[in-house]
Amino acid sequence: MPKGRIKIEPITNSAARNQTFRKRKKGLLKKANELSTLCGVKVCAVINSCDNTEPPEFWPSKEGAEADQNVELRNTLENFTTNIHETLVQAVEVALTTVLQRQQNAPIQQPAVQEAQHHQEDSSDDELAEN
């Protein structure tokens, strides 16, 4: 007989909620381990307790992780941080270059704009004189 689907909503009974939390946390950590092992990807998990009375749990744990895994995780985080920094620096450089180019082009455009404004003023003065 197949299992029925459960309705996804908060569990009101605290004992049942804590039991479900423990079971699902164990399953989640198992899946993270399997994903890391089978696919060769770097996985980490941070799980808070459902009532926030306990400190968050980390996987891989500091106690259970080997030294090279810790170094590898640290290197991954450093690479991520470096990539974000480089991307931000590039974005700032592009923005500053754009602003500088606009400022350099502004004096060249101003005489043309002023000449057009004078031309419009002269033509409006001529129209007023005719009326």
Tell me: pLDDT of 24 over 90: yes
Kindly state whether residue 78 falls inside one of the protein's structural domains: yes
Phi-psi sector, 40: left (phi>0), alpha (psi -120 to 50), beta: left
Q: Which amino acid would we find at residue 68?
A: D
In a domain, 46, yes or no: yes
Identify whether 47 is part of a domain: yes
Q: Is the pLDDT of residue 15 over 70?
A: yes
pLDDT above 60 for 60? yes
pLDDT at residue 19, as a whole number? 92
User: Apex CA 68: angle with CA 65 and CA 71, to 5°?
Assistant: 95
Examine residue 107 and say whether the peptide bond preceding it is cis (omega within 30 degrees of 0): no
Residue 51 has pLDDT above 70, yes or no: yes
Question: Is pLDDT above 70 for 123?
Answer: no
Rounded average pLDDT over 69-88: 73
pLDDT confidence of 13, banded at 50, 70, 90?
A: very high
Residues 56 and 84 in one domain: no
Give percent of the chain with pLDDT exceeding 90.
13
Contact 92, 83 (CB under 8 A): no
Which has more confidence, 81 or 62? 81
Tell me the residue range of the domain where 31 lies.
10-65
Same structural domain, 30 and 61: yes
